[in-house]
Amino acid sequence: MIRALLTNENRVREVLGISDNLAGEYLAPSLREAQDTALRLILGDALLDKVEGLVASEEIDLAENEAYKALLDDSPIFYVLAYTTGVGICQRVTFKVANAGVVKTPDEKVEVAAQPDMAKTQAFYQSKADSYTFALDRWLLDKAATLPELTASECGRVRSHLRSAASCGVFLGGARGKIIRNW
């Protein structure tokens, strides 16, 4: 199957407000990872594969693919990708793996942020990504009838995200051992 990124590095730079000189060798893997992991968990394999295929084949703008084009243009999908990419970038640009091992490479007159500061930046990006994920889940459920890849099973999975969409180490899904009906 043909794979394609659903956005580009410059749009991510613009939303995150990160430096134009940030090397693509750090940004591109973070963007790919955000799309392959976070977005795949939200959209499911079938829908993500369909949209990637349409983008790669440049058929996304055809009239019969209007619902998929709306997913890219009208939903918060881009912000989920951008902020999830931001979470991954922090670690990649601060520490690099080289022949000498894991190294920090501060430039002249540049001070590398301490680990707690980097963690705060990652938490900020993650909270933004969580917020937009919640909005994307709601958008998907509203438009499920126009996207055949969103089966009843997939919609059930998306609904479960709405009950516990935050990224943290604490269980936020409600009382344990309780079954919530008619959500």
> What digits encode the pLDDT tens for the residues 144-173?
989 999 888 888 877 776 666 556 555 555
Q: What's residue 172's pLDDT?
A: 55
Q: What's residue 127's pLDDT?
A: 87
Question: Percentage helix, strand, coil, to 5, in the chain?
Answer: 60, 5, 35
173 assigned to some structural domain: no
User: On the CB side of 4, how many CA atoms lie within 13 Å of its CA?
Assistant: 15
174 assigned to some structural domain: no
Q: What's residue 139's pLDDT?
A: 92
177 assigned to some structural domain: no
Q: Name 103's bridge partners.
A: 96
Q: What's residue 165's pLDDT?
A: 55
| 141 in Cβ contact with 96 (< 8 Å) | no
Q: What's residue 63's pLDDT?
A: 94
Domain hosting 83: range is 9-163
Q: What's residue 174's pLDDT?
A: 56
61 assigned to some structural domain: yes
Q: What's residue 21's pLDDT?
A: 82
Per-residue pLDDT of the chain (183 residues; tens, 9 = 90+): 567 889 888 899 998 888 888 888 888 889 999 999 989 888 988 999 999 999 999 999 999 999 999 999 999 999 999 999 998 888 888 777 777 777 676 666 666 777 788 888 888 888 899 889 889 988 999 999 899 998 888 888 777 766 665 565 555 555 555 565 665
In total, how many domains does the chain have? 1
Residue appearing with tokens 């919530």 = 180
Q: What's residue 76's pLDDT?
A: 93
168 assigned to some structural domain: no
42 assigned to some structural domain: yes
Q: In this structure, how many other beta carbons lie within 10 angstroms of the beta carbon of residue 44? A: 21
What b/e readout covers 152-172, taking b as 16+ CB neighbours within 10 angstroms? eebbeebeebeeebeeeeeee
Cα angle for residues 176, 180, 181 (degrees, 5° grid): 160
Q: What's residue 57's pLDDT?
A: 92
Q: What's residue 99's pLDDT?
A: 74
In this structure, what are the phi and psi dihedrals at residue 98, rounded to the nearest 5 degrees?
-135, -175
149 assigned to some structural domain: yes
2 assigned to some structural domain: no
Q: What's residue 18's pLDDT?
A: 85
